[in-house]
Structure 1
């Protein structure tokens, strides 16, 4: 995990992380019984916050946060590429980045755009610049 986030874990932080990890294992395993019977990273993060351990072990807490964010970030990227593949098919393979972005946002955020009426969109488009034809 530290290799994926090398900007956050430089050589100095890696040494500090090793020290924090050794102290954390002793603290949590041998001293603090509140960390028994955890069911994954989510429970661990909640318990860390409740016991105010992030102030003692900030680098370990950062690693836990990164581990929790990684699946969400991966799913978001996969969803974006799936949307791009759907929008940018063989018929529209030459569209520029601005147009592609303009198509992807409404497609991916359907829940937001479903609440906007077609008339509002047409009026907004019409007001962007003068058009030859009134929509």
Structure 2
């Protein structure tokens, strides 16, 4: 919800109501620590403030109603180079629904794979089973005979008695 509220404050059509660069930088630090260094977060705060002033003064840009349109417009007007960190943040926010959907799909698959009967599965076997279930398109490319032959070629784990 925090990231969605950031998205709402950055849409120009909303006239940047409740915009707060410091709060956005705190959210960036919390949710995207690998994507923005400490120095990037300081620069991002300045870029956000300049960005809001710049966009507020342009009548055409104030009509933009979505983050996707804003990204496109930044590229078309070459503002994406001046506000490179804002552009990076916008791209991360645009991909938010995709990353959330893939995580939900994985947990849904986990619920199907790990039933009460299979609740004692070890992590490695569970991970492999989930991979086969989630990435079925990739697995279809493998030939079962090749997998069986690779398994046969493995050394025996037990000493023959």
- Specify if TM > 0.5: yes
Structure 2: state its 5+ residue gaps. 4-23
The aligned residue for residue 24 of structure 1 is 51
> Does residue 60 of structure 1 match 2:86?
yes
CA separation of 1:128 and 1:68: change in aligned 2, threshold 3 A? farther
TM-score, normalised via structure 2 length: 0.66
C-alpha distance in 2 between matches for 1:82 and 1:89: 12
> Does residue 49 of structure 1 match 2:75?
yes
C-alpha distance in 2 between matches for 1:83 and 1:96: 16
RMSD: 2.8
The aligned residue for residue 5 of structure 1 is 28
C-alpha distance in 1 between matches for 2:28 and 2:112: 31
The aligned residue for residue 98 of structure 1 is 124
C-alpha distance in 2 between matches for 1:52 and 1:80: 38
C-alpha distance in 1 between matches for 2:149 and 2:40: 56
TM-score, normalised via structure 1 length: 0.76
Structure 1: state its 5+ residue gaps. none
